[in-house]
């Protein structure tokens, strides 16, 4: 996949040293040797790749879930780019906060960094997750608006067409959307925009 990324011109692949530096800078904003919360809003809801000790439903403010990232690999191809989710500025977002125990942070977070940060499409950002009882500081991967793969404001028709037709080695964008909707529904979150989008994509596929 890394070769595909380079050929497509999506961005420069970060080295292990650069990934570790980014991780160290992010963790440097909290007390050392402590648990870390991660806020999931997309694929991490139905496919968390790390070991976690606890999960809570919560809401963040100032960011919203959006299909705002073009991908020429994974869920698309260079000739038919797919769209995946990012956190874009404004609004609010409900998702899942996962707690990684302090003893597991050094093993689990590098896995997450390699998945989310390898081409610089996202920026690790500390957010406040409100779970109805308390406020949890958590890491969220927000969209890098300066990245060339940032989709910005695209028409709903373009979004529907891309999600309905794009597919790559990780599967189709349509499956990605449906799995996200189902994952959210399982924990009691109804995202009206994603539900509307899933209906439009299903109708296009039919």
Catalytic residue numbers read 116
Our CA dihedral for 123, 2, 178, 93, rounded to 10 degrees, sits at 0
3-state SS record for 165-197: HCEECCEEHHHHHHHHHHHHHHCCCCCHHHHHH
| Closest residue by Cα to residue 109 from 178, 197, 179, 35 | 35
- Alpha-carbon span 45 to 41, nearest angstrom: 6
Give the DSSP letter string of 48-102: --S--SEEEEEEEEEEEEEEEEEESSSSSBTTB-EEEEEEEEEEEEEEEEEEEPG
């Amino acid at each position: 996949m890394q070769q595909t990324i380079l050929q497509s011109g999506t961005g420069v692949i970060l080295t292990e040293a650069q990934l570790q530096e980014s991780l160290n800078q992010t963790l440097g904003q909290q007390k050392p040797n402590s648990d870390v919360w991660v806020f999931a809003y997309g694929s991490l809801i139905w496919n968390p790749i790390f070991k976690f000790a606890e999960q809570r439903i919560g809401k963040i403010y100032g960011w919203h879930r959006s299909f705002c990232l073009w991908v020429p690999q994974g869920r698309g191809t260079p000739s038919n780019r797919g769209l995946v989710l990012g956190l874009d500025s404004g609004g609010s977002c409900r998702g899942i906060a996962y707690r990684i125990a302090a003893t597991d942070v050094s093993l689990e977070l590098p896995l997450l960094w390699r998945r989310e940060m390898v081409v610089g499409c996202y920026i690790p950002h500390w957010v406040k997750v409100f779970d109805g009882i308390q406020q949890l500081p958590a890491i969220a991967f927000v969209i890098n608006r300066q990245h060339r793969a940032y989709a910005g404001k695209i028409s709903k028709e373009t979004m529907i067409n891309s999600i309905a037709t794009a597919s790559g080695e990780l599967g189709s964008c349509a499956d990605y959307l449906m799995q996200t909707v189902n994952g959210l529904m399982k924990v009691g979150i109804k995202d009206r925009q994603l539900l509307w989008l899933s209906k439009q994509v299903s109708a296009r596929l039919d």
